[in-house]
Amino acid sequence: MYLLIPAAGSGRRMGSDRNKLLLPLLEKPLLAWTLSAAKAARSLRWIGLIGQPEDFQDFKEIVVSLSMTKMVHFIQGGATRQESVFRGLQALPAVAQRVLIHDGARCLVTPELFDRCAGELLHCPGLVAAIPVKDTIKMVEPSSYQVRGTPDRRQLWAAQTPQGFEVERLTRCHQEGLRQGWEVTDDATLFEQCGLPVKIVEGEETNLKVTTPVDLAIAEFILRQRGEGG
Ligand code: CTP
Ligand code: MG
C-alpha cells in the first residue's frame, strides 16, 4: 500500500515559529512518531512525505534517525492541505491503485490502524477512520451565535486520518474540486461531493490531531502511558 503524509503546514494554531511537526514531543520531533508508526505498519511499502522545501533538511534527518526500512519520497507541498494532497497524488508512481493519506500531525496513530485501513481499502473505493462523537454538537448561526439545531449524536462521527481511496477516482475528485472552487479540510469530503461512497473504519480515540499546545501536552501524556520516553 502507498501512503501519503501531508506535512507541509505551518502550525499557525500552535503559535510556534516553525512547522509544528518539528516541535519536540518526548525528545523526538512530532513527525518522527508518525513516521515510526508508518515504519512499523506491515501493509505499507512506499511513503510520500509532503513538505515545504525549507523543512526538507529536517525531515531528511528524521528519516535517517529512524533508519526507515521503506522508501520515503519527498514531495513539495502547496499553500493548503488540499493542494498538498493533490501534489502528492501526482507524485505517486503510475502503478499505484490505492492510497492511504495520513496527516503528519496525527502522530499517535498505531501501525494496527494503518494495517486495518489498508486491508479494508481492498474492498471499497473510499474510507475514513472515524470515532463516534462524545459531545453534543450544536449548529450555530455565525453572526448571531443563535443555536440553529442539534443533530442526533448517534449519526455523528469525528473524522480522522488515515483516509484511503482508489487513486484514479480521488485524483478526479481533486480535479473537480479545483474546477468548482471547493475548499475542504479532508479528502473524503471531495469524494462525497462527487457522489462517491465513503465507508467508516473505526478509528482510535487516542489518534488525535496535534493542533494547539494543549494537544501536545495530551499527546505526551498518552505516549508516557504507552511506556515511551523512559
Ligand atoms: N498540511 C499540508 N499542507 C498545507 C497545510 C497543512 O500538508 N499547506 C498538513 C499539515 O502539515 C498537517 C495536516 O495537513 O499534518 C493537517 O493540517 P493542520 O492540522 O491544519 O496543520 P497546519 O495547517 O500546519 O496547522 P494550522 O492550520 O494551525 O496552521
Ligand atoms: Mg491547517
pLDDT given at position 34: 98
Please provide the size of the chain in residues. Answer: 230
Strand extents, DSSP E, the chain: 2-6, 24-25, 28-29, 46-51, 71-76, 98-101, 126-132, 139-140, 147-149, 157-166, 199-202
- Class at the top of the CATH hierarchy for domain 2-226: alpha beta
pLDDT digits (tens, 9 = 90+) for 146-196: 999 999 999 999 999 999 999 999 999 999 999 999 999 999 999 999 999
Q: What is the Å distance from ligand 1's center to 108 Cα?
A: 16
For residue 228, name the pLDDT band (cuts at 50, 70, 90). very high
To test the pocket of ligand 1, the residue of 14, 58, 81 to mutate (highest count of ligand atoms within 8 Å of its CB) is: 81
pLDDT digits (tens, 9 = 90+) for 64-99: 999 998 999 999 999 999 999 999 999 999 999 999
Q: What are the residue boundaries of the structural domains of the chain, listed by start?
A: 2-226
pLDDT given at position 69: 85
10 touches ligand 1 (CB under 6 Å): yes
C-alpha cell at position 202: 473505526
Nearest CA, atom 19, ligand 1: 211
Q: pTM for the whole thing?
A: 0.98
For residue 106, name the pLDDT band (cuts at 50, 70, 90). very high
162 touches ligand 1 (CB under 6 Å): no
For the chain, give the mean pLDDT. 97
- Rounded percentage of the chain residues whose pLDDT exceeds 90: 98
pLDDT digits (tens, 9 = 90+) for 108-156: 999 999 999 999 999 999 999 999 999 999 999 999 999 999 999 999 9
pLDDT given at position 18: 94
pLDDT at residue 230 above 80? no
Instruction: Tell me the C-alpha distance between 70 and 132, whole Å.
Output: 33
Q: Which long-range contacts (CB under 8 A, 24 or more apart) does 187-196 make?
A: 187/85, 187/101, 187/163, 188/126, 188/128, 188/159, 188/163, 190/82, 191/125, 191/126, 191/165, 196/125, 196/126, 196/169
